[in-house]
Chains A and B, each alone.
Chain A
């Protein structure tokens, strides 16, 4: 409290005389004010400022005749508000959010949730069907009609085929198909056929072997000299490249 009072004194000290005299009025004085004019000592120089009522926010005070007229006095100044406006302090208290009430969670088993979801889907489907019943009936009728038309078309095409059937022409076509010659240049799918290598050369020519009909049982097996050479080469390779 003493700190606040000292600060108030310092602030009042900084005020000028005119401001000090005007301190009792927080708003511009109205023209219908009933307060008596202030009496100032003659020793001090007083600067009076005349404030006219503003068009934007006119202040009006109504008075009614009573037996005991009491003077209307403005409320006292709020020290905290004045201090905050004149010299705001950096020390402010932390804003604490209001605590949330302790709510209990909703317990519902997953199977029940599934059941309720399915029931709701069923309900919505039924309502939709009932609402759009005539639309669905229209779709159904159109579908049936389309299917019937296609069926009639198929049946009529079969009858037309029977009427247009000519046995002589059929026999001639069959004979022509039977006499058809095979084309070597093209595959049945139309792809161009390239001849196989076996048409141009024999196996001996392909591998550069002498042409003979004798079949040697030892063909492909190494001779003793070649076996020695192979062994030497293996040892050389083992020395050079294989781990020990």
Chain B
């Protein structure tokens, strides 16, 4: 009997793969994705309808697919970068670094100078030029050869140069050169470590270095959940639910505040009206008393004889040092 199970496949997956396919090597073409929280922000804006879970799933697959390319390029803003790759522009007529100290070239003819200029440099020499330029922009002094800033600049130049090389090789082949991308990963990790150490030691130098080299550094934080689609989607939804609840409570709080203000205003108006009525009634009572002759209306105000009292006191104090017992008894 022929074993038909080998020829008939009832499942759509003909291979032995166990997971649904998503392209982990997809290229990122949107510079906005360089923000580490880009997909989380997008998840926050999704509408809460029947397709919310499916939309989260698609967003997660896009996030995972973009992760590898972003890991290589995001820190140096190399997305959609096709010309310079963050490397500094160097004057073509400048003498190469290896021959800068030669005095003979200062008097040499132009054709000889051109031979030793950057225009005729090989790729290796060009790489050295780029490294020197970046190192000069952040080093502490002219004799600095082993500081963290200098190391970071050197690694940055290496990363960007190799990224340029990957792009050049990518023009000819469909697949990235893995031997080079692996090295780029290692160098990126080394630079991240150096940046962390510099940030811990010297915050000012860290900020200056980042600004000069145009590196986007994000402080890594502990992951809130395991790295799976379900855990990520659930975490996003929980955050969303918490925020929505807080929003509703805030609205209720504002509503209560308005009600309290309204009530206070009404109470004050009532109190004012009642006080006016009370004053009016009191005045009428006084008028009735005056008419009946029980009391009289007071006009003016009593002022004591202040000046004469003071004069008399001063005269007595001049005569006697202590008041006499008779005056004390009075």
- A interface residues with partner B (beta carbon < 8 Å): 133-134, 137, 140, 147, 151-152, 154-155, 158-159, 161-162, 165, 167-168, 170-171
Beyond A158-B237, A168-B252, A171-B249, list 14 extra A-B contacts (CB 8 Å): A133-B16, A134-B5, A147-B230, A151-B233, A151-B234, A154-B234, A155-B234, A158-B238, A159-B52, A162-B245, A165-B245, A165-B248, A167-B252, A170-B245
Within 8 A of A (CB), among B57-106: none
The minimal Cβ–Cβ distance linking B112 to chain A, given in whole angstroms, is 70
**Contact across chains for A152 and B53 when beta carbons are under 8 A apart:** yes
Query: Contacts A137-B11, A147-B230, A152-B53: A159 and B251 contacting too (C-beta < 8 A)?
Result: no
Q: Which residue of B lies closest to A165 (CB)?
A: B245
The listed residue (B11, B18, B241) touching A158 by CB distance below 8 A is B241
The minimal Cβ–Cβ distance linking B55 to chain A, given in whole angstroms, is 12
Q: Is B262 located at the chain interface by the 8 A CB criterion?
A: no
Q: Which residues of the other chain, A, contact B248 by a CB distance below 8 angstroms?
A: 165, 167
**Contact across chains for A155 and B53 when beta carbons are under 8 A apart:** yes
Which 3 pairs, one residue from A and one from B, show the smallest C-beta to C-beta distance?
Answer: A167-B252, A167-B248, A151-B230
The listed residue (B48, B230, B245, B249) touching A159 by CB distance below 8 A is B48
**Contact across chains for A162 and B241 when beta carbons are under 8 A apart:** yes
Q: Which residues of the other chain, B, contact A168 by a CB distance below 8 angstroms?
A: 252
Task: Bin the interface of chain B by size.
Answer: 20 to 34
Tell me, in angstroms, the Cα distance from A158 to B233 when the chains sit together.
12
Q: Which residues of the other chain, B, contact A133 by a CB distance below 8 angstroms?
A: 16
**Contact across chains for A162 and B244 when beta carbons are under 8 A apart:** yes
**Contact across chains for A170 and B238 when beta carbons are under 8 A apart:** no
Q: Which residues of the other chain, A, contact B53 by a CB distance below 8 angstroms?
A: 152, 155
Q: Which residue of A lies closest to B10 (CB)?
A: A134
The minimal Cβ–Cβ distance linking A234 to chain B, given in whole angstroms, is 69
Q: Which residue of B lies closest to A140 (CB)?
A: B18
Tell me, in angstroms, the Cα distance from A159 to B53 when the chains sit together.
10
- Chain B 208-244 per-residue mask, 1 if CB under 8 angstroms from chain A, else 0: 0000000000000000000000100110011011001
Tell me, in angstroms, the Cα distance from A131 to B76 when the chains sit together.
51
Query: Contacts A137-B11, A167-B252, A168-B252: A155 and B245 contacting too (C-beta < 8 A)?
Result: no
Q: Which residues of the other chain, A, contact B234 by a CB distance below 8 angstroms?
A: 151, 154-155, 158
Tell me, in angstroms, the Cα distance from A140 to B13 when the chains sit together.
13
Task: Return 24 A-B CB contacts under 8 Å, by A number.
Answer: A134-B5, A137-B11, A147-B230, A151-B230, A151-B233, A151-B234, A152-B53, A155-B53, A155-B233, A158-B241, A159-B48, A159-B52, A159-B237, A161-B241, A162-B48, A162-B244, A165-B244, A165-B248, A167-B249, A167-B251, A168-B252, A170-B245, A171-B249, A171-B252
Tell me, in angstroms, the Cα distance from A147 to B234 when the chains sit together.
13
Tell me, in angstroms, the Cα distance from A119 to B251 when the chains sit together.
69
Q: Which residue of B lies closest to A168 (CB)?
A: B252
Tell me, in angstroms, the Cα distance from A137 to B13 when the chains sit together.
11
The minimal Cβ–Cβ distance linking A70 to chain B, given in whole angstroms, is 69
Q: Which residue of A lies closest to B231 (CB)?
A: A151
The minimal Cβ–Cβ distance linking B105 to chain A, given in whole angstroms, is 69
Tell me, in angstroms, the Cα distance from A147 to B230 when the chains sit together.
9
The minimal Cβ–Cβ distance linking A125 to chain B, given in whole angstroms, is 16
Q: Which residues of the other chain, A, contact B11 by a CB distance below 8 angstroms?
A: 137
The minimal Cβ–Cβ distance linking A172 to chain B, given in whole angstroms, is 11
